[in-house]
Amino acid sequence: MSSVKVLGIVGFALSLTACVPDWARENETGLLMEIAGITGVPGNEGFAAGDILLSDVFPDLNDDALVTVNVYRKNPTVASTSPLEHVRLESYQVRYFRSDGQSVEGVDVPRRITGALSSQRFHTPTETGEIEIDALVTVVRQQAKNEAPLRNLVGIFRGGTGSLLFPGQGIITTVAEITVYARQVTTGEPLSASGRFQVTFGDFDNAQ
């Protein structure tokens, strides 16, 4: 076979690979996983409004989020199900960034965190559609409220007046990216899904 033909075959194969979407190359299971929704669960003086969590930096309590994860088949025509395809949620990661590009962990935004998901399990999705499960994750740990940059927000508001001691300071608005990691029980093949929502930090208790 001539070198020209070999190069042509290789080039054709590479072009086919380039057309394959990332999820098909990175996920070898017959399933897809996605985050369908995120709802903030504030610790104390903070509160959640729609897709926004207001995290109070004092007192230093955890803030959580209810993450709705679903699994469905890549091939929707498959009608048979098997417990061999069960998927187990294993862990999650939360990282923060800001829209202004100032996103140095421990300086501009809290440090990323990881945690376990208590081995929550999905049953196999059927031909009727997706399977959904809610997982509670900690979005802001109380330790982070005792570290920079969140601890720097404590006391910036004048008690009871709602005004700032230092104009232009007192609030940090971030996007929290939550990534959930899972594994197909029998094959051990990994799955993952990510979702984002807004988390705004401030000393809201002292601002009231």
**Predicted confidence (pLDDT) per residue in 81-111, tens digit:** 677 778 899 999 999 999 899 999 999 999 9
Quick: pLDDT tens for 27-52.
Answer: 667 888 999 999 998 876 666 666 78
62-76, 100-114, 135-149, range with the lowest pLDDT: 62-76
Does residue 174 fall inside a structural domain? yes
| Cα 132–Cα 134–Cα 135 angle in degrees, nearest 5 | 135
Residue at 180 is within a domain: yes
Whole-number Å distance between alpha carbons of 136 and 56: 19
Residues 15/22, Cβ–Cβ less than 8 Å: no
pLDDT tens across 166-187, in order?
444 688 999 999 999 999 888 8
As a whole-number percent, the residues of the chain with pLDDT over 70 amount to 71
- Mean pLDDT (the chain, rounded): 79
Asked if residue 161 is part of any domain, the answer here is yes
Please report whether residue 13 resides in a domain.
no
Position 157 confidence tier, pLDDT thresholds 50, 70, 90: low
Q: What angle do CA 43, 180, 19 make, to 5 degrees?
A: 145
Question: Which pLDDT score is estimated for 58?
Answer: 84
Residue 149 DSSP code = T
- What digits encode the pLDDT tens for the residues 19-31? 544 444 456 678 8
Q: What's the DSSP call for residue 145? A: G
- Taking alpha carbons only, the member of 101, 135, 132 closest to residue 119 is 135
- With a pLDDT cut of 90, the percent of the chain lying above it is 42
Range of the domain at 42: 29-207
Residue 56 maps to a domain: yes
Could you tell me which residue, 115 or 85, shows the higher pLDDT?
Answer: 115
* Separation of alpha carbons 178 and 47, rounded Å: 19
> How many domains does one find in the chain?
1
Which whole-number Å values give the CA distances from 144 to 89, 102, 136, 163, 203, in the listed order? 25, 18, 18, 24, 14
State mean pLDDT over 153-163: 64
What is the token pair recorded at 54? 């207001």
pLDDT of residue 159: 53
HSE-CB at 199 with a 13 A cutoff on CA atoms is: 30
Please give the pLDDT value at position 12. 47
- Quote the CA–CA distance of 21 and 2 in Å, as a whole number: 32
Q: Rounded to an integer, what distance in angstroms lies between the CA atom of residue 147 and that of residue 143?
A: 7
pLDDT of 126: 63
In a domain? residue 14: no
Give the pLDDT confidence score for residue 30 in this predicted structure.
81
The answer to whether residue 12 is domain-embedded is no
Mean pLDDT of 190-202: 94
- Cβ proximity of 154 and 203 under 8 Å: yes
* 110 located within any domain: yes
